[in-house]
Amino acid sequence: MLRLTRRGAGSRFDTALRAVRRIAAACASLALFAAAAGPAAQAAPAAGKVTPERDVYAERRALFDRISMLTGIPWHHLAAIDQYERTLTKARPKSRPQPRGLIAIYVPPERWAGELNPDENETNPAVIRHFGGIGLDGNGDGRADRTDDEDILWTVAQQLLKSGTAEDDFAIGLWEYYHNTRAVQRVLQFSALYAAFDRLDLDDHAFPLPVRADYSYRDTWGAARGWGGYRIHEGTDIFADYGVPVRSTCYGVVETKGWNRFGGWRIGIRDIDNVYHYFAHLSGYDKNLKPGDIVKPGQVIGWVGSSGYGKPGTSGKFPPHLHFGLYRDRGLVEWAFDPYPLLKKWEREDWQRIRNGTYKW
């Protein structure tokens, strides 16, 4: 893959580099137009008909592919960084600005322009470099704009390339950029998901039990629990018979599998939205699954049971049910939130799929 790296300040190199970026930008613009227009570009919409919605996923993918071509960094690595940053903004909306364009990567002004730069909105690459900022011109327009999607991606890519171009260097580059082990883990997980499915739209979900099974549940969020000390219930209990299949609710990466004295045999799955899906009190699980494996919505991962509240193997201290919990990662800590509304939503969606003949799980 082609990778351009600035090795000097020579005017010839700068001129050539800007020319290459302008050509690549033009090609990317055509690709973005084609991806966004799709079949709609073949003919103008008939009078009175609604025009197709903008395909943000296609536009974003085209941008990732372009920067990947220029840097040699796989598109799914770039997509994973962008998605991780997007989840941080969702989890911390008061401390991070909402994305203005296709890309959600947020670089603080002082890091982009330089901590001692009196103008935090500086866009002159030479001035930014003088003050030790990281901002770069990614589209060849002579400006390093931290609100420009191409400039942002190019800048982050160059930061990562400082650690090398080999696959193992990517994790090192992430650590050098974030200085946060959790961030490195999340980006690698998201990258694995994008690489496995080769697409960005991984938003589908499924109800954790087959909707045709015999089960019942209600909102038990916050109810008191006494075993092991007083605590509140951080999840929803779905009561069903022993052996009813328990299914993945999302596209995700298996993060945890094994025994927990409260949850018994349990599995934890991290989804593309940086939410941890927790399945507990299982009677058993697919023994082929292991941490790091990729799963998809509706995939059987285990079976309803009554394990937990004791040493490994303890079972039968309560009626069989699935405890399902959701936890959002805020960057340094995770917090639980009530899964009941989403369970109702996923249940309705599964029944809708059955009615329209698209139920594939």
Tell me what pLDDT residue 262 has.
Answer: 85
Whether residue 2 lies inside any domain: the answer is no
Whether residue 231 lies inside any domain: the answer is yes
Tell me what pLDDT residue 255 has.
Answer: 96
Beta bridge partner(s), residue 345: none
3-state secondary structure of 77: helix
Helix (H) or strand (E) holding 49: none
**What is the percent of the chain where pLDDT is above 70?**
82
Supply angle C-alpha 154, 157, 159, rounded to 5: 115
| Per-residue pLDDT reduced to its tens digit, 100-134 | 899 999 999 999 999 999 999 999 999 999 999 99
Contact by Cβ (8 Å): 204, 247: no
Residues 113 and 186 in one domain: yes
Helix (H) or strand (E) holding 283: strand 275-285
Tell me the C-alpha distance between 247 and 361, whole Å: 9
Residues 89 and 128 in one domain: yes
Going by pLDDT thresholds of 50, 70 and 90, the confidence category of residue 34 is very low
Tell me what pLDDT residue 85 has.
Answer: 97
Going by pLDDT thresholds of 50, 70 and 90, the confidence category of residue 9 is very low
Whether residue 275 lies inside any domain: the answer is yes
| Per-residue pLDDT reduced to its tens digit, 191-211 | 999 999 999 999 999 999 999
Single pTM value for the model: 0.83
For the chain, the domain total comes to 2
Tell me the C-alpha distance between 284 and 49, whole Å: 52
pLDDT mean over 244-259: 97
Whether residue 242 lies inside any domain: the answer is yes
Beta bridge partner(s), residue 231: 225
The boundaries of the domain holding residue 18 are 11-197
Residues 144 and 244 in one domain: no
Residues 261 and 150 in one domain: no
Contact by Cβ (8 Å): 299, 247: yes
Going by pLDDT thresholds of 50, 70 and 90, the confidence category of residue 21 is low
Residues 72 and 189 in one domain: yes
Lowest mean pLDDT among 9-23, 104-118, 320-334: 9-23
Tell me what pLDDT residue 225 has.
Answer: 65
- Looking at every residue in the chain, the average pLDDT score rounds to 86
Residues 259 and 225 in one domain: yes
Give 15 or 62, the one with higher predicted confidence. Answer: 62
Res 357 pLDDT > 80: yes
Provide the 8-state DSSP code for 99.
Answer: P
Whether residue 361 lies inside any domain: the answer is no
Tell me what pLDDT residue 224 has.
Answer: 59
Give 222 or 253, the one with higher predicted confidence. Answer: 253
3-state secondary structure of 109: helix
Whether residue 291 lies inside any domain: the answer is yes
Token pair 């982050």 is at which residue? 156
By residue count, the chain amounts to 361
Tell me what pLDDT residue 241 has.
Answer: 97
Provide the 8-state DSSP code for 254.
Answer: E
pLDDT mean over 158-168: 92
pLDDT mean over 54-64: 93
Q: What's the sign of the alpha-carbon dihedral 65, 69, 70, 75?
A: positive
Domain of residue 331, CATH code: 2.70.70.10
Residues 270 and 165 in one domain: no
Whether residue 209 lies inside any domain: the answer is no
